[in-house]
Amino acid sequence: MHVAETVAREAGELIRTGREGEVSVAATKSSAQDVVTAMDLASEALLRRRLAELRPGDGVLGEEDALTQSSSGTWWVVDPIDGTVNYLYGLPAYAVSVAAVTSPAGTDPDPATWTVLAGCVVAPQDGRTYVAGLGQGATLDGQALQVNQAQPLIDCLVGTGFGYVAARRRSQARVLAELLPQVRDIRRIGSAALDLCALASGGLDLYYERGLQPWDLAAGSLIAQEAGAVVTGLRGQPAGEAMTVAGPPARVHDLVAYLEASGADQDS
């Protein structure tokens, strides 16, 4: 936990101070709207350099660079800026996400099979630091976290997010349009890591999203779980790119049932 927090804080400080200057777009990814800023690249470079110093032999899976292999059996899964579009627009909901994971022997880190050992999400704009260790609970700035008690679906504030490709968005919009009348309201915060931390700290009652990448969910999923949430996929699958659903155990199945019935894990 200590290493995750140390490097996440350092990267957070880099991107917070970097936001005071001009934010330049360095590249695009899945669509022209899916941007990478120069600070995404600088933050990941810092994370990789510091992890190599502090944990030589561990591998790194990051959003902006190639997988580096592990000789120790531990990987660091890092998102140098989660919420890049918020960062670009000067909105505060962006974060650095760092997690330590182990994988079954001979396999690369994959949310379907990994075990997340520790995670830290830093929101540098307001300094909030979320930390969790497997079996050790989750904290926000040192205070223990606990998800909200299960409410009827109609009383739930539900977080979600959208991909950057039009075909996926069309299907996400269809699923959302049917869900909206069944819940209290919807939030689209713009950072999956912060969505999962909001769930852990009572700022959301439920969360779901299709399309999350390993770095979007590694640290946040442990923080949510250690705060008492179930984090799962649909149709008995673990959380991952097809679908991630999170919430208190007594309510998450209602959302899972709706998402399965509406085919939310497919693009139509």
124 binds ligand IPD (CB under 6 A): no
190 binds ligand IPD (CB under 6 A): yes
Q: Name the residue type at position 15.
A: I
Strands 143-144 and 157-159: unpaired
Which of these segments, 80-88, 116-124, 229-237, 249-257, binds ligand IPD (CB under 6 A)? 80-88
**CA 111 – CA 186 distance, rounded (Å):** 26
241 binds ligand IPD (CB under 6 A): no
Q: Give me the half-sphere count of Cα atoms (radius 13 Å) on the Cβ side of residue 199.
A: 38
Q: Which of 37, 70, 84, 232 binds ligand IPD (CB under 6 A)?
A: 84
125 binds ligand IPD (CB under 6 A): no
- Nearest distance, CB of residue 23 and ligand IPD, angstroms: 13
199: how many CB neighbours lie within 10 A of its CB? Answer: 29
**CA 253 – CA 206 distance, rounded (Å):** 11
Site for ligand IPD in 199-218 (CB under 6 A): 209, 211, 216
**CA 188 – CA 208 distance, rounded (Å):** 11
Which of these segments, 77-85, 148-156, 229-237, 258-266, binds ligand IPD (CB under 6 A)? 77-85
DSSP 37-60: EHHHHHHHHHHHHHHHHHSTT-EE
- Residue whose pair of structure tokens reads 């561990």 in the numeric block: 58
74: how many CB neighbours lie within 10 A of its CB? Answer: 17
83 binds ligand IPD (CB under 6 A): yes
What does residue 126 show for φ and ψ, rounded to 5 degrees? -115, 5
Q: Which residues contact 183 (CB under 8 A, 6 or more apart)?
A: 153, 154, 156, 157, 158, 206
Which of these segments, 41-49, 106-114, 184-192, 218-226, binds ligand IPD (CB under 6 A)? 184-192
- Nearest distance, CB of residue 142 and ligand IPD, angstroms: 25
What does residue 130 show for φ and ψ, rounded to 5 degrees? -105, 130
Q: Which of 129, 139, 171, 191 binds ligand IPD (CB under 6 A)?
A: 191
Which of these segments, 19-27, 69-77, 130-138, 161-169, binds ligand IPD (CB under 6 A)? 161-169
Q: Which is nearer to ligand IPD, 80 or 150 (CB)?
A: 80
Q: Which is nearer to ligand IPD, 150 or 159 (CB)?
A: 159
Which of these segments, 10-18, 52-60, 168-176, 185-193, binds ligand IPD (CB under 6 A)? 185-193
Residues that bind ligand IPD (CB under 6 A): 63, 79, 82-84, 161-163, 190-192, 209, 211, 216
